């Protein structure tokens, strides 16, 4: 494998249209992200049909900008990587079709990347010397899992959510409090101002390494509705603080327990919720207290972006996995 292998990566699984140029899986030359947040905010969440139409409008410019920022032309690109699942079917079709067309026209390899592997790889860009094995806490809008990452292409799930994902529950709490979409960053910001802890649910010790967030979400919704019905003020800051604290406490405790029990000395955070301030700080400090090294991705690699897909694509390609052809089809329900 030659050094300086340049991958042009495309990510369009949800409401971000993104293109990046990544060298040898570790160096990001450009990472253009065109967000549709403003478009979906008025609907209170992502509208799939609207998202796919906007990907079509954005993708040409996003790819052109990524090449320009990287100082490249198509001739410099050695392979195309693309997210083929999991995600919204219409959104995935846009990225996958575009990537297939580029691969065919340029006559270079096409690499199919699982979005979740991409989130983990955001750490290989953030920490050029980081290699598996490690335990990863993956927390995004669609997933919450503790994953044993044995090597770049072998992962096994040791804990999962039984209902809502962590990001999804942040978004739902934000919605009931009228904070808007996406809710995670808004709950995160308000939580910093909260002082009084409200216990919405007690920890369930029977879950092992698994998670369940829907009971807490329902308790919060009922609490808020009761206050509203009786005309009492809703303590939004305390609710955000209590929800964030109990959620982060549980995520961190289970991740560190898993790492200790399985004998790992490294823990890695990944996914959109890894932008959460409390989670970043608490995982770092509890890991350190337990003699475990902790890796927190740079903010630009937390939420959806194509650079992480370029990195994951590289490590798949050099191991001979993920190599696709013109039959590649999006897989909306792709699992790990
Ligand atoms: O990984 P991601 O960009 O998309 C998926 O693959 O799902 O994650 C998006 C999720 C959303 O639910 C969003 O509210 C949440 O990540 N999120 C946060 C924060 N920033 C983004 N949740 C809590 N605190 C944040 N600062
Ligand atoms: Zn994601």
pLDDT digits (tens, 9 = 90+) for 156-166: 999 999 999 99
Query: What is the model's pLDDT at position 46?
Result: 83
Residue 36 burial (CB < 10 Å; 0-12/13-18/19+)? buried
Q: Could you tell me what percent of the chain has a pLDDT over 90?
A: 90
218 and 212 Cβ atoms separated by less than 8 Å: no
Averaged pLDDT for residues 177-197? 94
Averaged pLDDT for residues 206-221? 94
* pLDDT band, residue 285 (cuts 50/70/90): very high
Query: What is the model's pLDDT at position 214?
Result: 92
Tell me the per-residue pLDDT of 62-103, one tens digit each, with 9 for 90 and over: 999 999 999 999 999 999 999 999 999 999 999 999 999 999
Q: Which listed ligand is nearest to 139 at the C-alpha? A: 1
Distance of alpha carbon 148 from the chain centroid: 17
State whether residue 221 is helix, strand or coil.
Answer: helix
What's the rounded Cα separation, in Å, for the pair 150 and 155?
Answer: 6
**Is the pLDDT reported for residue 1 higher than 80?**
no
Q: How far is the CA of 262 from the centre of ligand 1 (A)?
A: 28
Q: Is the CB of 242 under 6 A from ligand 1?
A: no
Averaged pLDDT for residues 17-38? 95
Read off the tokens for 272: 């959109």
Read off the tokens for 160: 């999962």
> Could you give the C-alpha distances from 207 to 87, 124, 242, in angstroms and in order?
27, 31, 21
Q: Locate tokens 């919405």: which residue?
A: 200
Averaged pLDDT for residues 161-179? 94
Query: What is the model's pLDDT at position 159?
Result: 97
**Is the pLDDT reported for residue 45 higher than 90?**
no
Put the strands of the sheet holding 27-35 in their side by side order.
Answer: 27-35, 16-23, 6-11, 79-85, 110-114, 323-324
Averaged pLDDT for residues 143-149? 97
To test ligand 1's pocket by mutation, which of 272, 309, 312 has the most ligand atoms within 8 angstroms of CB? 272
Residue 210: cis peptide before it, omega within 30 degrees of 0: no
Query: What is the model's pLDDT at position 36?
Result: 81
Query: What is the model's pLDDT at position 49?
Result: 87
Q: Which listed ligand is nearest to 16 at the C-alpha? A: 1
Q: How far is the CA of 6 from the centre of ligand 2 (A)?
A: 23
Q: How far is the CA of 44 from the centre of ligand 1 (A)?
A: 15
Q: Locate tokens 């909306």: which residue?
A: 332
Query: What is the model's pLDDT at position 41?
Result: 80
Distance of alpha carbon 173 from the chain centroid: 19
pTM for this model (two decimals)? 0.95
Q: How far is the CA of 299 from the centre of ligand 1 (A)?
A: 11
Tell me the per-residue pLDDT of 222-261, one tens digit each, with 9 for 90 and over: 999 999 999 999 999 999 999 999 999 999 999 999 999 9
Q: What is the mean pLDDT of the chain?
A: 95
Cβ neighbors of 188 (< 8 A, separation 6 or more) are 170, 240, 244, 275, 276, 277, 278
Q: Is the CB of 274 under 6 A from ligand 1?
A: no
* pLDDT band, residue 40 (cuts 50/70/90): confident
Averaged pLDDT for residues 118-136? 98
Tell me the per-residue pLDDT of 268-278, one tens digit each, with 9 for 90 and over: 999 999 999 99
305 and 20 Cβ atoms separated by less than 8 Å: yes
* pLDDT band, residue 130 (cuts 50/70/90): very high
């Amino acid at each position: 494998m030659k050094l300086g292998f340049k991958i042009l990566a495309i990510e369009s699984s949800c409401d971000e249209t993104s293109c990046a140029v990544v060298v040898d899986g570790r160096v990001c030359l450009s990472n253009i992200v065109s967000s549709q947040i403003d478009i979906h905010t008025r609907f209170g969440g992502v509208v799939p049909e609207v998202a796919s139409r906007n990907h079509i409008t954005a993708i040409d410019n996003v790819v052109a900008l990524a090449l320009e920022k990287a100082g490249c032309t198509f001739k410099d690109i050695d392979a195309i990587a693309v997210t083929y699942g999991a995600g919204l079917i219409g959104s995935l079709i846009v990225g996958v079709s575009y990537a297939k067309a580029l691969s065919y026209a340029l006559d270079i390899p096409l690499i199919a990347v699982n979005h979740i592997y991409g989130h983990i790889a955001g750490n290989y860009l953030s920490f050029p010397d980081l290699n598996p094995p490690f335990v990863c806490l993956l927390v995004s809008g669609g997933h919450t899992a503790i994953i044993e990452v044995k090597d770049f292409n072998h992962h096994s799930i040791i804990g999962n959510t039984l209902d809502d994902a962590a990001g999804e529950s942040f978004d739902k709490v934000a919605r009931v409090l009228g904070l808007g979409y996406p809710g995670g960053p808004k709950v995160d910001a308000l939580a910093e101002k909260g002082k009084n802890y409200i216990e919405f649910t007690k920890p369930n010790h029977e879950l092992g390494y698994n998670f369940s967030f829907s009971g807490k979400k329902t308790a919060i919704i009922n609490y808020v509705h009761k206050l509203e019905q009786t005309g009492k003020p809703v303590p939004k800051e305390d609710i955000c603080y209590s929800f964030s604290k109990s959620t982060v406490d549980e995520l961190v405790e289970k991740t560190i327990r898993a790492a200790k029990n399985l004998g790992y000395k490294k823990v890695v955070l990944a996914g959109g919720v890894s932008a959460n301030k409390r989670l970043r700080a608490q995982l770092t400090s509890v890991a350190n207290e337990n003699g475990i090294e902790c890796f927190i991705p740079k903010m630009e690699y937390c939420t959806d972006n194509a650079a992480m897909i370029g990195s994951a694509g590289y490590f798949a390609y050099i191991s001979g996995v993920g190599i696709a052809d013109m039959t590649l089809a999006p897989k909306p329900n792709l699992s790990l």
